[in-house]
Structure formats: structure tokens, C-alpha cells
A and B are shown apart, each in its own frame.
Chain A
Amino acid sequence: MRKFHQRFKPWLIKYLALPSDVILELPRITIIGQLHVYIENHQGLEKYSDSELKLKTNKGYIEIIGSSFVLKMMLPEEILLEGTIQEVKFTPDQ
């Protein structure tokens, strides 16, 4: 059953053109230049400092590296990060 589920979802995305972030419960990341990163659908803050932001997601972590980070807004499952962004990294679950 679970397997079927996992196959069915990509099929939905492919044939019914449904947005993948909703169906697969993946984070949606919007980056505006080097200035802003807007992350929706994350599962919680893991680590935050002046130069690093690590967020938990469904399958692993998102790591954003840069400098002078400020979290402009924190809402449940939404984060707006401001600063100078240098890297966005996906690291799998350990």
C-alpha cells in the first residue's frame, strides 16, 4: 500500500500537473538574489546563527550559509531570511 502511495504521487504530479511541493510535502524555497530566502513548508528550526541557518524538512535538512543573517519573519512553517546568501545545501537524513 505504501509503495503504491509513493508511486501514485509522482504520477499525480506528472499527469495532473499538481504542484509538487503540496503533494510531496516538500519545502518550497524562493530566493531573491542574494538578499532573501523564503522557505515554506519546513519542519522546524534546527540551528540558527549569524552565518548559518539549518532547517529540518521531510527528507533531511536544508542548510543556508552566508553572512549577517536576520530572520525577518517566523511563522509556523514559514521563514523569511535576510542577509547575504552564499550557499543553499541539501543534506540527507543521517
Chain B
Amino acid sequence: MRDTQGSYFTGYVTILIKGDRPELFFQKCMDKGITVWNVRKLADDQCEGNIKLYDIKQIKELRRGTNYKINFTKRKGYPFLFRRFIRKKQVLIGLLLSLLLIIFLSNIIWEVKISGVPKDIEEKISKQLDSYGIHPGSWIFSLDSPNAIQQKLVEDVPELLWVGVEQKGTTFFLEGVEKIIVKEEEIKGPRNLIATKKGIIKKMYVSKGLPKVEVNDYVKLGDVLVSGIINGSEEEDETDKKAKKLELVAAEGEITATTWYEVTVTVPLKGVHEELTGNQEKKYYLRFGEFRLPVWGFNSPEYDHIHREINEENLKLFNWNLPVKIGESILSEKSTTEMNRSKEEAVQVGISQAKSELKLQLGPKAQIISEKVLQETTDNGKVKLNLYINVEEDIAEAQPINQGD
């Protein structure tokens, strides 16, 4: 019996032998080592039996030279079933379409779940996510990785301390932790305000403490501007310790001073400038290994200079990466312009460059009052500028008073 087991999978046929003493044909099969089963004699000259599908060739060879007639009466087993299935085109197409549908649907976000934060922040997060293109119904492969989303969210929603983004199949789980914004009351100990830079005092506004300088005074780095010791000076303090009890406060105030900087910048006279004109064309394709199958966008644009940007994403079926990638290539028109600056223009560019650099260094509160070109040299097609820039800024910095006991 073991020989006939599994014959359903490999397929078998029932053959009907016609001729004189048909059972002897099966005897011949047996001698050849062909398994035959369910042999039945139907009539004196008819006998049927089952043989395996892959033995048919041998059977046909055996038949040659004899005067038996073979009819195949039944075909059974998986191969025949499969062939019948293949022949039904509609079913096959349906199967293919449903497979595509599964792939299609499993690449779509179905749900975005936000947990761990109150409703208003939830709303904010979902709005933010919408702006990133994460909402039910969007393609998964068009999104950034969860890590990148996490980072962006934390940056864009200031109320969030932390957010965990996890993608489980077609669902995005977001777990947020709200930032409890508590303005920490600074515990102010007694302190002085000292100068952080040398400069000339322009404006003083002292709300607490004893001013030590006046407007138009020149101060150096580390000079005390506002003292936190209200009663008596420090010298007195040392000589006359017990006589006066010192009152220490946390000095507070804003001291604006004019400071100056010397900045050196170099500006090339010639420059090549690349910029995108805004004309662009998008192409979409599916990539199987090295082969690219264009899906959309077939003709190449007629741009002189092209900037190519390629984004590729894996298609996924549940958790597996399919060997198919969907890609988008953006062809943007690029124009290069060569710039020739005159010396005056270069100087202007240099000054504004130096200003913006300085502004960036000093912060938004600083104000640039005036600038002066100290020195200007040209060599190798470059203009080298030595600039002197006057700035108004807050130079006060708190320094705690060491009470020393």
C-alpha cells in the first residue's frame, strides 16, 4: 500500500486495456517495476487498473509491439486539478487580483492610535501627523521611518516630552508623554552683575542692587556692574566686619553697552550659483532587483541640467519585505548662473555676511549699530575685508557672591 500512498499528489490515471487476456499486460508492467493497483476485470477482454502519472511513458513503450489497446478512462490527482484550475482564466485572474489587493491594502495605514496624552494634545499630534501625511488611508511606503517621525513630532509639538512611534502592520501606535511645563523659580542667591565683555555702557536699568558704573563708562571683562551688597563696600566689609551687618541681594538689571568686534571676511568675485527653476517631473517605477518597471512618467523632460532625486521604499506584505521596491525619481530642472561681482558688490556682500554671522553669534537681542571697513585687499579674485562692527548688547552676567562662611 505504501507505494500507492501519495499518488494523489503526483497524479494517477485509470487505464482500460482491451485485448486478448488483458491481465497479462499488467503482468508485464509488474515485471518492469511499474506499480499497478485496483486491477479489475470488467469483461473477458477488458481490464482496468490504476497507474501513476509518471509511468505513462513506460506503459506506452510497453504497448508497442503488442496488440493491446489502452484507453485512459480517469485522470485523478493534484496535477490534473491544477491543470484544470490553470485553464480557468477568470479564477486565475481573480486570484491574482486578490493577491494584489492584499498587497495593496497591507501597504496602507488603517489606523493611527495615540495614547498617553490628553485630548487637546492628541488633537495637536494628529494634526501634525496629518501634515506629515500620516493618516488612515495613506501609503506606508511614502512615510519616513518611525524614528524620524518620532524626532519630528517631538520637535514640532512642544508639549511633548517624548513620543514613541511604533508601526505594527497597518497601524501606527503613538505613545506620548506630556511635558509638564513648570517654570522653575530660580532660587536667587546673593549675586553681582559683572561685565562679560569690554564696552561702553549705553543704557542701564537696575531693578535690584547697587549700580557701580554709570552710563558712558568704559568697562572691562569681569568688572562689577551692579553690586549685590547694598550696605557698604567690600573693603569696608573686611575692615569693619562686625560693625555693619551686610545686606546681600540678588542684583538684577539690564546693562546695555556698545561693544565692538573686528571681523575678517573673504568674498570671491566670481561665483557659480546653482538653483532649481521649479520645473520638475516625477517618475514612478517598480524595481525588482536591478530591473525597473516604469509605472508613471515615461518621457524624459528636456532640461539642460537635471538634478535627480530618488526615493525608494520597500513594499511590504504583513511583516515581510517583498522583493519589489516602489520608487520615485524627481527630475528637476537646474540652472547654473555664473556671477561676476564688482568690487563694490563684493564689499556689500561681505558686510552683510559678516553682520549676519555676528548676529547669529550674539543672539537676537544684540543690535548692530554701525560697521566700518578697516582694510580691503583684493587678490586671487577674492576680496578680503577687515571690518569693524559696533554692537549694542546686554553685557551683564550674574555672579554669585561668595559668602565665604
Contacts and interface: CB of A to CB of B under 8 A. Distances in A.
Interface of A: 44-45, 47-50, 69-76, 80
B61 interface: no
Contacts of B30: 44-45, 74-76
Contacts of B44: 49
B4 to A, nearest CB: 7
Contacts of B309: none
Given A71-B49, A73-B3, A74-B26, A44 B41 contact: no
Interface in B1-48: 1, 3-4, 21, 23-24, 26-27, 29-31, 33, 35-41, 44, 47
Contacts of A69: 41
A74 B37 CA distance: 6
Nearest to B44: A49
Contacts of A49: 23, 41, 44
A74 B49 contact: yes
Contact of B27 (A44, A50, A72, A73): A44
Given A49-B41, A74-B49, 18 more contacts: A44-B27, A44-B30, A45-B30, A48-B47, A50-B41, A69-B41, A71-B36, A72-B37, A72-B38, A73-B36, A74-B30, A74-B37, A74-B39, A75-B3, A75-B35, A76-B31, A76-B33, A80-B1
B37 A73 contact: yes
B23 A45 contact: yes
Contacts of A70: 38-40
Contact of B29 (A50, A72, A74): A74
A54 B30 CA distance: 15
Nearest to A51: B41
A80 B39 CA distance: 10
A61 to B, nearest CB: 14
Contacts of B4: 73
Contacts of B3: 73, 75
18 contacts: A44-B30, A45-B23, A45-B26, A45-B30, A48-B26, A48-B47, A49-B41, A50-B40, A69-B41, A70-B39, A72-B38, A73-B4, A73-B35, A73-B37, A74-B30, A74-B35, A75-B3, A80-B1
A15 B1 CA distance: 35
A47 B24 CA distance: 8
Contact of A45 (B27, B33, B38): B27
Contacts of B29: 74
A35 B95 CA distance: 47
B31 A44 contact: yes
Given A73-B1, A73-B3, A74-B26, A48 B31 contact: no
Given A71-B49, A74-B29, A75-B30, A45 B35 contact: no
Contacts of A48: 23, 26, 39, 41, 47
Nearest to A53: B23
B23 A47 contact: yes
Contacts of A50: 40-41
A71 B27 contact: no
